[in-house]
Amino acid sequence: MAAQHWVISIYRVFQAFIYFDNGIFPLGFLGNLGHFSETLKNSFFVANIATGDTLIVHRLWTVWGFHKGVIVFPVCTLLGLLVCSGELVYQLSQFRPGEDIFLSVAGRWVRTDTILTLITNSYCTALISWRLWTASKVGVHPHRGANIKHILSIVIESATLYTTWNLMFFVSYETQSNLQFIFIDCWPVMTGIAFTLIHVRVGWDGIQRRRQPSTTASGSVPGPLSFTVGIRPAVQKHSDTGTETVMHGSDAQL
């Protein structure tokens, strides 16, 4: 979704500054929110928001051990978002130059969508953070480095970055600031960054769990990952003529 949103944004920039009215009045093109390219862009944008909300609801479900009761509320707000997003795209497609986006009918649906996704993300972020904190605070060492790593882990897994970006857009829109357009255009990118961090975190936890049985049995601290390389270990062999080194045996592990 982020890629399509980016491609359409670049297309609109070229249309506004080069082709539309010979580039003399780019704001005339960019300010026309009812243009088909803007409608297509908005469609990908709301789809990106719905995807982001779905991922964080799924993460909440996973962190809470697939407990269905905890996701009832965010699923309801997510369904409401899907319905309102369709109406938002339609109202923006009916937008005419000269209208005020903050006071138009479309503006009401912008607020509705923003409030719904903000509620979903705030709810999920709060419950994920609380679950992670209470479940693993006993294992956190008192020194500063461990505490920082633990807090960073919670920030990543709860998608705090995504929720914060949502909140900043809502504030900029309610204050009728043009910064809202920056937050909108960068929103898909922030969604990708936030959930890439979550996937990396989940993958790292999977690696640690696979290594845990062997390290626990030996009672040692987990060391670096082992990688097999195609190098034969060198073995010294003594003979009457002196000492020589031969290569044989299995592949070495680092």
Q: Confidence band (pLDDT; 50, 70, 90) for 137? A: low
User: Which DSSP letter does residue 94 get?
Assistant: T
**pLDDT score at 237:** 52
**pLDDT tens profile 13-64:** 899 999 888 888 888 888 888 889 999 999 999 999 999 899 899 989 988 9
Q: Does residue 226 have a pLDDT over 50?
A: no
- How far apart are alpha carbons 120 and 131 in whole angstroms? 17
**How many secondary structure helices (H) and strands (E) does the chain include?**
8, 4
Which is nearest to 117 in space by CA: 191, 181, 175? Answer: 191
Determine the pLDDT at residue 1.
Answer: 63
Query: How high is the mean pLDDT of the chain?
Result: 78
Residue 43's alpha-carbon distances to 38, 156, 196, in angstroms, are 9, 28, 22
- The 3-state DSSP class for residue 103 equals coil
For the chain, the structural domain boundaries read 2-138+155-214
- Distance, CA of 145 to CA of 100 (rounded, Å): 50
Report whether 41 contacts 15 (CB < 8 A). Answer: no
Question: Which amino acid, residue 229?
Answer: V
DSSP 8-state symbol, 178: T
For 71-124, the pLDDT digits (tens) are: 999 999 999 999 999 999 999 998 887 788 888 888 889 999 999 999 999 999
pLDDT at 241 over 90: no
CA–CA separation, 102 and 186 (whole Å): 20
Rg (CA), the chain: 27
pLDDT of residue 251: 44
Mean pLDDT of 163-174: 91
DSSP, collapsed to helix, strand or coil, labels residue 229 as strand
Q: Contact at 8 Å (CB) between 116 and 50?
A: no
Which residues have C-beta within 8 Å of that of residue 145, sequence separation ≥ 6? Answer: none
